[in-house]
């Protein structure tokens, strides 16, 4: 199909190239050979008068125009597919789909029961969990490559989101640590103790980390862990102190032999949020999965829903 000199048959190839930012993976995603995909990219570059993808080292990156086109193309293709195919009644028992979710280890642990419940109602649906990328997030592309991101606000995600649950930070510490007095840890003692710090990559400073920097305290990790889950086991039997969500501290206290005490830098809420790209609103399976998951959190005893468009 061609309109005013533009080949609309290239639209699917363009979406794949922009989403994958890689010629080989783009071809694989739409079952097009690499030579055909390379030819399609050459034609697209000619049509747009832009490289769209540029090689940086061994990888590719989108040009500024490519980044601008990505959400527009994704939404356009989804709208066309919906118009052509209609929207049949969705039957979860026959739906075959794997949803990709980027999440921290803590978020994965907290939402696993809800996911398991959804999977029981849809036996052919799967979930592919990936850790949050440790490099600065390209939220447009990350939200295209994944169906969902589960993360706190403030790390650069720009998309539609709804809060899954709310928590707050506590300090994890060994029960024999003399710095704990009457179940409390003073601000002075907190600063003086050696710290175990959960690291999620340079793109992800936790709300607690931002709060500590606001107070002028920069933690120098004695021990660094890849995520929150190892913290209690690392801290047990040592003088270390760590900062983690209270729900994780409570889950792992008995097995690790640690305790949690109020954070001496003040209590504030952290909102674990489910994010997605607005173009997925045209995808009935995506909408079904999202609503099934969110409904289970809305009905839970410790969750609230707060529409957070952005």
Alpha helices in the chain (DSSP H): 11-20, 23-29, 34-48, 64-85, 105-121, 139-145, 187-192, 207-214, 231-235, 246-256, 284-298
| pLDDT at residue number 254 | 93
Residues 33 and 139 in one domain: no
Kindly report the backbone phi and psi dihedral angles of residue 217, in degrees, each rounded to the nearest multiple of 5, phi listed first.
-110, 120
| pLDDT at residue number 47 | 86
| pLDDT by residue, tens only, the chain of 310 residues | 333 345 566 888 888 888 888 888 888 878 788 888 888 888 888 888 998 888 887 778 888 888 888 877 877 776 776 666 555 578 888 888 899 998 889 999 988 888 888 888 899 998 999 888 766 555 566 776 788 989 888 766 777 889 999 999 999 999 999 999 999 999 999 999 999 999 887 667 788 888 999 999 999 999 999 899 999 999 999 999 999 999 999 999 999 999 999 999 988 788 999 998 877 877 888 889 999 889 888 865 443 333 333 3
Residues 140 and 225 in one domain: yes
Q: Give the separation between CA 197 and CA 261, rounded to whole angstroms.
A: 16
- Domain range for residue 129? 94-310
23, 22, 44: which is closest to 141 by C-alpha? 22
Domain of residue 43, CATH code: 1.10.10.10
Residues 7 and 80 in one domain: yes
Q: 85, 117, 148 — which closes off a domain?
A: 85
| pLDDT at residue number 84 | 62
| pLDDT at residue number 306 | 36
Q: 33, 56, 85 — which closes off a domain?
A: 85
Contact status, residue 186 vs residue 262, Cβ threshold 8 Å: no
Contact status, residue 32 vs residue 23, Cβ threshold 8 Å: no
Residues 201 and 124 in one domain: yes
Residues 235 and 305 in one domain: yes
Q: Give the separation between CA 112 and CA 77, rounded to whole angstroms.
A: 32
Residues 143 and 168 in one domain: yes
Residues 71 and 138 in one domain: no
Q: 85, 120, 143 — which closes off a domain?
A: 85
Residues 49 and 118 in one domain: no
Residues 191 and 152 in one domain: yes
Residues 32 and 70 in one domain: yes
Residues 257 and 164 in one domain: yes
| pLDDT at residue number 67 | 81
Residues 15 and 156 in one domain: no
Q: Give the separation between CA 158 and CA 252, rounded to whole angstroms.
A: 32
What is the number of domains present in the chain?
A: 2
């Amino acid at each position: 199909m061609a309109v005013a000199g533009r080949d609309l048959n290239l639209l699917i190839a363009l979406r794949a190239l922009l989403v994958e930012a890689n010629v080989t993976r783009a071809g694989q995603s739409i079952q097009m050979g690499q030579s055909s995909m390379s030819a399609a990219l050459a034609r697209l570059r000619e049509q747009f008068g832009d490289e769209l993808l540029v090689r940086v080292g061994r990888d590719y990156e989108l040009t500024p125009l490519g980044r601008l086109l990505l959400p527009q193309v994704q939404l356009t293709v989804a709208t066309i597919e919906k118009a052509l195919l209609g929207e049949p009644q969705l039957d979860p028992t026959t739906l075959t789909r794997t949803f990709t979710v980027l999440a921290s280890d803590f978020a994965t642990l907290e939402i696993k029961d809800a996911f398991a419940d959804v999977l029981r109602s849809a036996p052919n649906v799967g979930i592919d969990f990936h850790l949050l990328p440790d490099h600065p997030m390209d939220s447009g592309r990350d939200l295209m490559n994944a169906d969902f991101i589960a993360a706190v606000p403030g790390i650069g995600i720009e998309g539609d989101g709804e809060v899954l649950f709310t928590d707050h930070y506590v300090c994890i510490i060994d029960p024999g640590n003399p710095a704990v007095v009457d179940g409390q840890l003073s601000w002075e003692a907190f600063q003086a103790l050696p710290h175990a710090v959960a690291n999620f990559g340079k793109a992800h400073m936790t709300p607690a980390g931002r709060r500590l920097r606001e107070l002028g305290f920069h933690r120098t990790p004695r021990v660094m862990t890849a995520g929150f889950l190892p913290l209690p086991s690392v801290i047990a039997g040592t003088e270390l102190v760590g900062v983690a969500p209270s729900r994780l501290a409570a889950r792992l206290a008995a097995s690790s032999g640690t305790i949690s005490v109020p954070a001496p830098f003040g209590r504030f809420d952290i909102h674990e949020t489910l994010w997605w790209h607005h173009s997925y609103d045209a995808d009935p399976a995506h909408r079904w999965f999202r609503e099934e998951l969110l409904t289970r959190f809305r009905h839970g005893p410790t969750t609230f829903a707060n529409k957070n468009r952005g």
